[in-house]
């Protein structure tokens, strides 16, 4: 007796995931977030380009890492990773590659970046306790906050792995009061990014 062939599932897993994201409003949430942040990103990029045109930022950072002692560079990096994180960490990874024990200092940089992001979370959380900010979030941003809390994990993962400021993602997570334990978990992917960048940059140097 011939066995009946197994029927293929009507919908693939990716298709079901796509429909779930579509139904829950994930795509529209991301698109609205991109549209809102795009003007700010453009202004920041133009400002950085204008400053760099008259003042070589990269040369300044190189001189900074060469003139400061090791603890000074690490302190400067931690401050950068806590407050907006606009200075690319690759600059500091390249600095670590020139030291006697590059992987040790890469590990220190990774931990400083990670804990700087966690500190940024609490900065964002404290911001929401300002009465005027709290009132605005509760009355004007209620729907956006609900969606943001739903996709807060995605926000942290993107900030941890992609060349985007991790600190800003964590501040945003603090503002929407995304669970801190999840920030600790998803944010640990930041360590993976440093390992990957270290493997690339150290092999080039």
Q: Residue 67 gets which letter from DSSP? A: H
Instruction: With respect to residue 10, please indicate whether it lies within any of the assigned structural domains.
Output: no
Per-residue pLDDT of 65-115, as tens digits, reads 777 888 988 999 999 899 877 788 888 888 888 888 889 999 999 999 999
Instruction: With respect to residue 169, please indicate whether it lies within any of the assigned structural domains.
Output: yes
Name the most confidently modeled range: 49-53, 117-121, 175-179: 117-121
Instruction: With respect to residue 7, please indicate whether it lies within any of the assigned structural domains.
Output: no
Contacts of 125 (CB under 8 A, 6+ apart): 174, 175, 177
Where do the H-state alpha helices sit in 83-204?
89-97, 102-127, 131-140, 142-150, 152-161, 166-175, 180-187, 189-204
**Taking 50 as the threshold, does the pLDDT of residue 10 lie above it?**
no
Both tokens assigned to 96: 């670590």
Instruction: With respect to residue 12, please indicate whether it lies within any of the assigned structural domains.
Output: no
* Phi, psi of 135, rounded to the nearest 5 degrees: -65, -40
Instruction: With respect to residue 94, please indicate whether it lies within any of the assigned structural domains.
Output: yes
Both tokens assigned to 119: 């500190």
Instruction: With respect to residue 164, please indicate whether it lies within any of the assigned structural domains.
Output: yes
pLDDT of residue 7: 46
Alpha carbons 167 and 155: distance in angstroms, whole number: 11
- State the residue range of the domain holding 87: 56-204
Tally of domains within the chain:
1
Per-residue pLDDT of 24-67, as tens digits, reads 555 565 566 556 555 655 665 576 566 556 665 566 666 777 77
Instruction: With respect to residue 190, please indicate whether it lies within any of the assigned structural domains.
Output: yes
pLDDT of residue 107: 94
Do 114 and 95 touch, CB atoms closer than 8 A? no
| Averaged pLDDT score across all residues of the chain | 75
Instruction: With respect to residue 48, please indicate whether it lies within any of the assigned structural domains.
Output: no
| Burial class of residue 92, CB neighbours in 10 A (0-12, 13-18, 19+) | buried
């Amino acid at each position: 007796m011939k066995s009946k062939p197994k029927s293929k599932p009507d919908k693939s897993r990716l298709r079901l995931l796509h429909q779930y994201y579509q139904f829950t409003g994930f795509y529209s949430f991301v698109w609205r977030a991109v549209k809102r942040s795009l003007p700010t990103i453009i202004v920041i990029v133009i400002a950085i380009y204008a400053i760099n045109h008259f003042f070589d930022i990269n040369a300044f950072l190189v001189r900074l890492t060469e003139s400061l002692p090791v603890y000074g560079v690490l302190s400067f990096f931690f401050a950068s990773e806590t407050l907006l994180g606009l200075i690319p960490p690759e600059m500091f990874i390249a600095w670590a590659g020139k030291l006697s024990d590059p992987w040790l200092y890469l590990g220190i940089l990774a931990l400083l970046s990670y804990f700087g992001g966690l500190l940024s979370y609490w900065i964002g959380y404290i911001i929401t306790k300002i009465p005027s900010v709290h009132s605005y979030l509760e009355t004007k941003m209620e729907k956006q906050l609900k969606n943001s809390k739903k996709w807060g994990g995605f926000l942290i993962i993107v900030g941890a792995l992609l060349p985007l400021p991790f600190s800003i993602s964590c501040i945003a997570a603090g503002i929407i009061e995304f669970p801190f334990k999840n920030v600790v978990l998803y944010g640990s992917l930041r360590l993976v990014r440093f390992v990957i960048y270290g493997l690339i940059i150290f092999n080039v140097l």
